[in-house]
Amino acid sequence: MSIDLGLASHYAPLINGEFRSHTDETFDAVDASTGERLATITRSGKADIDAAVAAAKAAFPAWAATSREERSRLLLTVADWVEANVERLIGIDAHDIGRTLFELPQDYVQAIGQYRYFAAAVMTHDGWSMSYPGGWGIAKREPYGVVGQIIPWNVPAIMTAFKLAPALAAGNTVVLKPDENASLSTLELARQLAEVFPPGVVNVVPGYGEEAGAALTAHPDVAKLAFTGSPQVGRIVAHAGAERLVPVSLELGGKSPNIVFPDIDDIDAVVDNTTFASTFCNGQSCLAGTRLFVHDDLYPTFIEKLVKAYENIRIGSPLDPETRLGGLVSAEQGERVLGYIEAGKAEADLLTGGKRVTVPGNEHGYFIQPTIFETKNSARIAQEEIFGPVLSLIRWDDFDTMIEQANDVRYGLASGVYTSNLRNAMRTADRLRAGQVWVNKYVNLVDGQPFGGYKESGIGREVGRETLDMYTQLKSIMFNEQVPSPFYV
């Protein structure tokens, strides 16, 4: 399938409405599957970050004073542009990160929805008022100022929208750093952002985490930090925020439990959804259901069907519409996943998969067979986030023990439950220590429904109205009817 990507040969950072840089250093954006160079990108560092933050700081007063109606209108303009260019943007991501043409459209449905949701939500995002004897009080919501945002490589369209839409709707200005492994679709969007927003309101600065990212998190004029990525880097970002006493929101990793009760109505449908839950995004998702708890009563039948479903997944070029599992984002990530598979072979039973596959014409890419290990919850592969198509299968028969094991990881981002019994659904949802509990449909992201994690899966919530609270602070203003009688005179 041929798509005209319309890529530039080189991408510079967007700073103060212009594409310019303070360095000539670059890095290559390469096709994750073929290794072909797609473009060069400026390797921004401290000088570009300083310029971007200065531009955002200068633009903040006017942007904060811009009416909600106007901010809403501009976000809707962005949504319309993304929708009009969606086929091209999907093609860029398929080349850049190895995701399939089959699943990428859903990323853009989510992204477009976020721009439109926050364009609407901000219209009713208010503080509150109260009265007391002799006066009135107002709690007014105000933006923080310059927000520094850092996003990962696995779902760039979604991550960009999750960060930009609420921050801009709330009246903040932004410096966004995309991941060096997935900058192209975000930088293509930056071309439009430069046309839509006043100079300095949105700045997009590509580069490496230890250079551009570190400079952004440490900058004294950044009033809030928002990060999505690994817990290891999340700690670094949180520490940088603590050093300067600025608020930090984090969306981090996961090792999510997916629980199958014996009372399910349609075993084939559940097998299909649990397969999707653990392999979508080529397994490179923080919310993937990578620990599958299956009840004893249907275990043999379920596992037979699950192994067959995994073995039927079509691995191939991300550009083939029939492909259901593409390649991983980089050789580094591929070797990391293969390392976990080798570790799993020493502590668990390999039921299927476990090997790298060569896809003709895509020999550069790391295509990993969807892999199932039958294991215990205490195993390393069941405790650590692998970020690849690797599933830990765990058998259960006692509810309390299963819940204890489901919660016995350091993460708490997402979870799934399959049951036709309302009591099972509700008592499981109540006891799971996770920010999301999806009953009978794994990955059920809906605009307006808050998304975020417990424990080491993060701090704060995205996607919903609470996100606007996260990007604003409250100012209390008290009005007295008259000056009180003097105390000292």
User: By the 8 A CB rule, do 120 and 146 touch?
Assistant: no
Q: Of 103, 188, 251, 462, which one is the catalytic site residue?
A: 251
Question: Residue type for 475, please?
Answer: K
- Contacts of residues 351-359 at CB distance under 8 Å and 24 or more positions apart, as own/partner, are 351/303, 351/307, 351/393, 352/307, 352/310, 352/311, 353/310, 353/311, 353/389, 353/390, 357/315, 359/33, 359/315, 359/316, 359/317, 359/327
The C-alpha atoms of residue 191 and residue 201 are separated, in whole angstroms, by 13
User: By the 8 A CB rule, do 17 and 194 touch?
Assistant: yes
User: By the 8 A CB rule, do 433 and 407 touch?
Assistant: yes
Q: Of 103, 180, 286, 456, which one is the catalytic site residue?
A: 286
Between vectors from CA 390 to CA 389 and to CA 395, what angle results, nearest 5°? 140
List strand residue ranges (DSSP E) for 397-456, in order.
Answer: 411-412, 416-418, 438-439, 454-455
User: By the 8 A CB rule, do 384 and 404 touch?
Assistant: no
Nearest to 352 by CA among 370, 337, 327: 370
The C-alpha atoms of residue 300 and residue 296 are separated, in whole angstroms, by 8
Nearest to 60 by CA among 71, 49, 69: 71
Question: Residue type for 484, please?
Answer: P
User: By the 8 A CB rule, do 270 and 260 touch?
Assistant: yes
Active site (annotated) includes residue 251? yes
Q: Which residue is listed with tokens 């105000």?
A: 142
Q: What residues are annotated to the active site?
A: 251, 286
